[in-house]
Structure 1
Amino acid sequence: MGLFDIFKKKENNTYHLTLQLNARLLPIDRGEFFEEPINEALESCKCGTTDGGGTMQQATGEIEFCDIEILLKDNSMENVDKLLQIIDRIGVPKGSFLRADGFEQSVGTLEGLALYLNGTELSEEVYQNCDINYVIEKIEEVLDGSGRFYSYWEGPENTALYFYGISFGEMKQRMTSFLSEYPLCQKCRVEQIA
């Protein structure tokens, strides 16, 4: 049995794979940044389609990872290679993987940064006068193409903003000055998530 003979064969002769993304994305963002572009690329090369996806949350409610279901028209090496090229071209976070029954392959080149803004310990004046959309806009500006904003999570004590790019270290370094100056970013924390 060949490596790619192990994919589950569906009744309609397609082969089912799951792309598990090491990405903290709301379902709408998963669709916009990954599911829709992958589906368009698969359909344009006539080798498959996406078939929905899912989101796994941590006990806190924060997203842990998400996945995309993929149906290839067959399990030929050519189609699997096309899918891997599509994933590489779109860019997914490190720690992601493509899997089927008995098969798993690591994919991903992007690094992830979570910026946790303190939602409970700053003055009411700061919360009233500062704008989280301004934070996102200014950080994307200072990242200057080295990374971008993908999604967010609103928790009971923090709001997390998720950025993915070429290098966690570079993204962190580029935003440090802004984070130290803007009042809403007081008491924030930065974590590498991919």
Structure 2
Amino acid sequence: MDLTLNLNSRLQPMHRHDLEDALQEILEKGKLGEVTGGGTLQRQTGEIVSCDIEIHLNDDKQDSVNRLVELMNIIGIPKGSALLCTVPEIKIEVGTLEGLAFYVNGTDLPDEIYESCDINHVIEQMESAMNGIGRFYSYWEGNEWTALYFYGVSFVEMKQKIEPFIASYPLCQKSRIEQIA
């Protein structure tokens, strides 16, 4: 049985490959099947909208599909994702994680802030603040904004944990936060 995992994840292809590898390992260990491909959907700006991972299950038993869903939720899939099949027609909602996109303003701050601040420091500090409830998954660099994508157990908690850092670090001025899963 061939399935598509439509991920409500903003993952660059290299980060989607990491998830594909984790899923492949789980499928092999359980003798359930294999990952056969994947793709990324982008907006005209280049920002990622969602990803797909193609999966071949060794059989078409409902138990195998149910086991796959269990395993995906264990490895961490964002809410709003779905496991899809055309024959037979299947759509199973999957995902337990919530998503937070942090958009760093890349044009409206003084030049000295961009020269003296480091986006990697922002990632490290936010991930540290989210300790145990969320982590950094991917990013996108546009002409006016750089987006950092975090997924975890609670959007509200992740946002609360990073707010003190945002208020104190110059590069985070004029930024915005969106819930993405």
Same-fold call, TM cutoff 0.5? yes
Q: Which blocks of at least 5 consecutive residues in structure 2 are unaligned? A: none
Counterpart code for 1:28: M
- Structure exhibiting the larger radius of gyration computed from Cα positions: 1
Correspondences of 1:76-87 after superposition (within 5 Å): 76-87=61-72
Instruction: State the partner residue of 2:10.
Output: 24
Counterpart of 1:20 in structure 2: which amino acid? N
Count of residues in correspondence between the two structures: 179
* Aligned residue type for 2:55: I
SS in structure 2 at match of 1:49:
strand
Gaps of 5+ in 1: 1-14
2:154 to 144, 167, 181: 167
The answer to whether structure 1 residue 94 and structure 2 residue 94 are counterparts is no
Q: Which residue of 1 aligns with 2:109?
A: 122
Aligned position for 2:92: 105
Counterpart residue type for residue 110 of structure 1: L
Deviates more, 1:82-91 or 1:171-180: 82-91
Secondary structure of the structure 2 residue equivalent to 1:61: coil
Instruction: Give the whole-Å Cα distance in 1 for the aligned partners of 2:44 and 2:74.
Output: 33
What's the RMSD between the two structures over aligned residues?
A: 0.7
Paired residue for 1:66?
51
Distance in 2 (CA, whole Å) between partners of 1:50 and 1:75 is 16
Structure 2 counterpart of 1:135, from 116, 122, 131: 122
Q: CA deviation at 1:78?
A: 2.2
